[in-house]
Chain A
Amino acid sequence: MPDIKFRVKRQDPGDNNNPEAHWEEYTVHYEGENLTVLEGLFYIQEKFDGSLSFRFCCRASVCGSCAMYINGAYRLACQTNVKHLDTDLITVAPMPHLPLVKDLVVNMDEFFAKYEYVMPWLVRHSPDPEKEIIQSPKERKKIDMPVDCILCGSCYSSCPSVWSLGASLGSKSEEYYLGPAALLKAYRFEVDSRDEGGKERIARWNNERGIYRCHTIMNCVEACPKELNPTEGIQWLKRAAVRRKLFRKAK
């Protein structure tokens, strides 16, 4: 029955007595072989400190609620077994570079505003067929990777272009970089054989907020807990933009 130390970054910006960030240590005790970081946080919240704030829902790595910065890397707290971190000190911090709500909870409004901006939905102009729109397994395969995104925000928080160009809230966000998750979503629809929105959507990602801000630093690929590759999607969009330009010129 092991014990393990958790160092958790705490901050309640609304607490006038103690608005600054600070670290607190707790000893988490568990039975058996396995403990996820999320279970450790619940242990702390239940046993030691009711005021600890963190997001959770599925505890099965599919909802994207619990992305945090754990032992120096982006991870889903629910998917991270302390055993695999191979250490007796677990450090847990909120995703960096995003505005803080409290403790491990960051504000995701801007993240979702950018998601919405790229028109993340299937656009159709043709009348709907009576049954399904035919899509071959080969065409379906093209969206395999991007449809698995759980919008956890890890890639977004990890991207230097996002840091320098607009993760902060309240700024004139219309000018700022959309970030990897939103662009991956744009890619997801651009490569869907059923989508007919290319003409409208391209203006949303082929602009100064979009693909050209990506300098293929690839932090996003490293950060993604679902092992997705936003950079690959962005590169595809860049090539598509070039193709389109050439095509226009030729006409």
Chain B
Amino acid sequence: MIHHDVIVVGGGLAGLRAAIEAKKAGVDVAVLSQVHPGRSHSGQAQGGINAALGNHPEGRDDNWEKHAFDTVKGGDFLVDQDCAVQMAKDAPGVIYEMDHWGCPFSRFDDGTIAQRPFGGAGFPRCCYGADKTGHYLLHTLVEQAYRLQVKMYVEQYAAGLIVHDGVCQGVVAYDMIHGGFEAFTANAVVIATGGAGRTYSNTTNSLISTGSGMFMAYYAGVPLKDMEFVQFHPTGLYTTQILMTEGARGEGGYLINDKGERFMEKYAPKFMELAPRDITARSIQIEIDEGRGIGGKGYVYLDLRHLGAEKILERLPGIRDLAIHFEGVDPIEEPIPVVPSQHYWMGGIDTDVNGATVMPGLYAAGECACVSVHGANRLGGNSLLETIVFGRRAGAEVVRYLGSLSDKRPNARTAFAAIQTMEQKVEELGARKGTENAYELRAVMTGVMKEHFFLFRDEPTMTAGLEKLLGVKARVKDINLRWTGSVFNVDMIRTMELEGMVDLALCVAMGALARQESRGAHYRTDFNTRDDVNWLKHTLAYYQPDAAGPRLDSKPVTLGHFELQERKY
């Protein structure tokens, strides 16, 4: 058994920022991560991070209030307004701090941090470092974590929470390098494991974005919030769904259909290509469905050619590399084939504005959490911001919580029992006959999510999808491990997490079926308007060990700063 005051599960931006905050306060904190923190999914983020700095000549009148309003409106008013206000107020400070820590942001001529326009924002407030903003932010926090000597347990896969008398006291993790399970006990745990994009077959996310932190919390009885809200990015590469950042459109890129039209004119005449993602993604899909995809096929073009080689090489070098390597297209010469792709998980572990969950000792931050600042649709550039703002807040809150505890000794017996449970589970998985193949089932599930819970939803399609998911869930009981070796067992991790992913998928499915309205990313052709009378509320999903799917409940949205209005762009 290993003990630290605080265990942070996840070494992405949110986890590192939380750990740094706790460490600065003198707390004994350790980060546990499935991959080296510098390899976390956050490093893939391209476009930028929002803060009303007012550095851009057209952004001088920007301020936190406008940022908060754009966030609330972008989220189709399902955002908790106090939280959005808090995030927008914290934003400039945390960005300056990242600069003071060495983050290589791009610069304007006057030497200030460069900002670019981004979707759904009234001002150019997206701070960027070329098109590699996530990589730069992540490496900066990794560097600070080393500077502050934050303890890091690398390539440790957390498999379950340790809960004693309703209080979270640590995690059990699989040591990928040395083999075996170990208990990491703590007086507080921060989950920062990122999104669950891999439950869809067509995702921009990293291969490890499987939602493991979400289902760990869910199984421990903590509710998941607003899981039916899944963001589909307008522009993933046609064959691999690797992302082409919104920054490409922020820099002036066009979306073009088979007739050569900039079709966004029809759907968002004012914002054009920079309408919020849900609207842009649906518009693309309509073009494709109505036969105006390129050559009648299932994609449209993202055209950057008119930006010229110089601008592309300076502002979008990473995009160019990715398009060349993964799609065989040089954007300087040719338009890029793109399709809407799963991108971001608005829902997640229900937390307050300081990352606290309903379970004492358990906190969450980043994409795995739902505060909620994104509501029904996240604005580009707000998610990197969320990781840093709420990672920091969760870190500070944990320190406060530790100070309030009188008894600080986790229960050793419970921790040992948790290790044993995990070892038995693996033994049992290995001993099964295994009439089902975990990877085939995974493919079925991710395909169902893409076919039945994508951009356009309706009752018959979703009911059929739910049936299929329930079928998968029943069959998961018959998968087995094919290799029970101890070191770097990829098979074990991928097999074990399948069941959790299916349970997350069921939360999406049942939440989406229940919500009889259209709001943000959740668009139902059979209920195609927003219904504030009945549905201006968050969905909560609770795990039920004895039922196939979650128990659904709801909780009110916090209003008070901005009036409800129709969302037009």
Stretch at the interface among B83-91, B106-114, B346-354, B405-413: B106-114
Report A186 CB to chain B, min CB distance, Å. 12
B39 touches A57 (CB 8 A): yes
In the bound complex, do residue B146 and residue A60 qualify as a contact, i.e. CB atoms below 8 Å apart?
no
Q: Is the CB of A112 within 8 A of B36?
A: yes
Contact among B101, B208, B326, B490 for A122, CB-based, below 8 A: B101
Min CB distance A72 to B, Å, is: 20
B240 proximity list for chain A (CB < 8 A): 59
Chain B residues positioned under 8 Å from A108 (CB to CB): 36
Which one of A142-150, A157-165, A214-222 contacts B?
A142-150
B residues near A51, Cβ cutoff 8 Å: 482-483, 485, 489, 491
Question: Bound complex: CA of A65 vs CA of B322, how far in Å?
Answer: 17
A96 at the interface (CB under 8 A from B): no
Interface size class of B (residues with CB under 8 A): 35 or more
Contact B43 A62 (CB under 8 A): yes
Please state if B41 and A140 are interface contacts (CB–CB under 8 Å).
no
Q: Are A53 and B96 in contact (CB under 8 A)?
A: no
A79, B323: Cα distance in complex, Å: 11
The distance from the CB of A185 to the nearest CB of chain B, in whole angstroms, is 9
Q: Given A112-B36, A132-B96, A140-B106 in contact, is the A58-B112 Cβ separation under 8 Å?
A: no
In the complex, what's the smallest C-beta–C-beta distance from B167 to chain A, in angstroms? Answer: 32
Q: State A52–B483 Cα separation when bound (angstroms).
A: 9
Beyond A55-B35, A59-B206, A60-B44, is A81–B100 a contact (Cβ under 8 Å)?
Answer: no
| Shortest Cβ distance from residue A62 to the other chain B in the assembled complex, whole angstroms | 6
Question: Which applies to chain A's interface (DSSP): helix, strand, loop or mixed?
Answer: loop
Interface of B is mostly: loop
Binary CB contact string for chain B from 320 to 346 against chain A (1 if under 8 A, 0 otherwise): 011001101000000000000000000
A133 within 8 A of B: yes
* Chain A interface size range: 35 or more
Chain A residues within an 8 Å CB radius of B135: 62, 148, 150
For B443, the closest partner residue in chain A by CB is A46
Cα of A51 to Cα of B486 in the assembled complex, Å: 10
Nearest A-chain residue to B100, judged by Cβ: A128
Binary per-residue interface labels of chain B (89-131) against chain A in the complex, 1 for a CB within 8 Å, 0 otherwise: 0001001100111101111111111000000000000000100
Determine whether A23 belongs to the interface, using a CB cutoff of 8 Å to chain B: no
What are 30 A-to-B residue pairs whose CB atoms are below 8 Å?
A: A34-B239, A46-B439, A51-B483, A53-B487, A53-B490, A58-B41, A59-B207, A60-B326, A61-B321, A62-B135, A63-B39, A63-B41, A65-B39, A101-B487, A108-B36, A112-B36, A116-B146, A120-B143, A122-B100, A128-B100, A131-B96, A134-B111, A139-B111, A140-B104, A147-B104, A147-B136, A148-B132, A150-B135, A151-B39, A192-B102
Given contacts A55-B35, A135-B107, 8 further A-B contacts (CB under 8 A): A46-B439, A50-B490, A62-B43, A120-B146, A122-B102, A132-B95, A140-B104, A140-B107
A-B pairs, 5 with minimum CB distance? A122-B102, A50-B482, A50-B491, A134-B111, A53-B488
